Amino acid sequence: MQLLHLAASAGYTTPPLWRVLTKAGYFIGLTGAIGTTLTYVTSGRPALRAPASHSGDVEVIRRRTAGYLAWAGVVLLVAGYFQLAARVARAGKGMPFGDALAPARISDFLAAPAAKGAWVAQGTLYIVQNVALVITAAALIALFLPSARRHLNAVALTALPLSLAVTLIAAVPATAPKDSDKVLDLVFAQVHIISGVVWVGGLAFLAALATARGRLGDGAGLLWADIWRRFSLVALVCVGAVLTSGLWLSWKHVGSVSQLWTTTYGLFVLIKILLVLAMVAAGGVNQFWLMPRIARARAADDTSSLLHLTLRHFPKIVWGEVALGIAVLVVVPFLSGSARSEAGSPPAVSNGSVFAVGAVLALTLVASLYITVRTSDALARRTPPAPAPTPAPSSTPASA
């Protein structure tokens, strides 16, 4: 009720349900395409190629990866179509979403001439974007075929840049940006999107992949320890990118801390911030507690503990992070407008002081992530306390 009251009083327009579903679905499609392919290329593929990998476990993981990527292609294709229809529904004076689904309406939208002063028609950019989307989806869907699964690495390496192009092309402006701030808005928005979908998509992919533990051998813990170790570095980079870009975007749209609870837009930003911080906290548990335990079990060649930690404990926390990440994607469509405009604050304009403060915050964040890695390594090297010796049985009779 509070949100609806603010929406009416401050001019916030609640997006229709179809807009929420199409936008959230589109980002879920990107998490499957970008997040999964990048995670496989950077974390899964190198671990599967390690000499210590067991061929049987490798085959199980490769087969499950191919199936996951194939379904990710289906989701991307469907989500892309509905997202394009949503653009049609919002174009010009707008139209009912049901009408926008018609191919003829979509064709007219894409064929519209360029606006005055534009270097290219907006529809042309969307055509290029959706061609990249269809090719990406087709490459991933091909993994349903056994013949394509034999070339999993080649398919993933092909789909990765194409899936990145899907979001990057959509961000290309049809008219030249007015100033450097507009350019930075576009850059930071893409950094935010890509790092976010890689973070959430990678977590979802690995958590789903870990459900195959019943088909893996006793030595699979070593393989998964390597996968989690590699992905933890990817996740740290994503966290840094999400927080850095999020600082810029928040400053552009929220004029003061109080606007986080006095405007509808600010409330949704606050919800998103809390969800992201919860994800970071869950990642901290992995980094400071589970990763050191995994490293010590690996060093001690304790295959039983390693298997339990990597395929039971770790995925449980990761599933929690995935749930939080999906909640973030559901909140994103509600970030429409700006808290500054709702509150009547002037637009944000960058200057030397803003960049100086931003640089200090970014360097502080980088330092904290570096300290996180070093602390995790130190905890992994720490020798656990030895168990207390069992007292020798007394030779004295219990009773006279």
The answer to whether the CB of 37 falls within 8 A of the CB of 160 is yes
What the block records as the tokens of 395 is 């030779």
Region 285-298 average pLDDT: 85
Q: Which residues contact 270 (CB under 8 A, 6 or more apart)?
A: 260, 261
Label residue 22 by pLDDT band (50, 70, 90). very high
Would the pLDDT of 397 be above 50? no
Q: Which residues contact 123 (CB under 8 A, 6 or more apart)?
A: 109, 110, 111, 112
Residue 247 is assigned to a structural domain of this protein? yes
Label residue 363 by pLDDT band (50, 70, 90). confident
Residue 398 is assigned to a structural domain of this protein? no
Q: Tally the domains of the chain.
A: 1
Q: Which position has the token pair 């006095």?
A: 262
Residue 393 is assigned to a structural domain of this protein? no
Lowest mean pLDDT across 100-109, 244-253, 303-312: 303-312
Residue 399 is assigned to a structural domain of this protein? no
- Average pLDDT of the chain is 87
Query: Rounded to an integer, what is the distance from CA 320 to the centroid of its chain?
Result: 14
Amino acid at 282: A
Q: Give residue-wise pLDDT tens across range 154-186.
A: 999 999 999 999 999 999 998 888 888 899 999
Q: Give residue-wise pLDDT tens across range 293-327.
A: 888 888 887 888 888 888 888 888 899 999 999 99
Residue 390 is assigned to a structural domain of this protein? no
Label residue 386 by pLDDT band (50, 70, 90). very low
Residue 143 pLDDT: 96
Query: Rounded to an integer, what is the distance from CA 197 to the centroid of its chain?
Result: 3
Label residue 241 by pLDDT band (50, 70, 90). very high
What the block records as the tokens of 333 is 């469509």
Residue 5 pLDDT: 46
Residue 18 is assigned to a structural domain of this protein? yes
The answer to whether the CB of 296 falls within 8 A of the CB of 385 is no
Residue 400 is assigned to a structural domain of this protein? no
Domain of 41? 2-381
By C-alpha distance, which of 106, 107, 125, 105 is closest to 115? 125
Distance between CA atoms of 127 and 114, rounded to whole angstroms? Answer: 13
Region 257-286 average pLDDT: 92
Residue that wins the pLDDT comparison between 143 and 356 = 143
Residue 396 pLDDT: 45
Residue 328 is assigned to a structural domain of this protein? yes
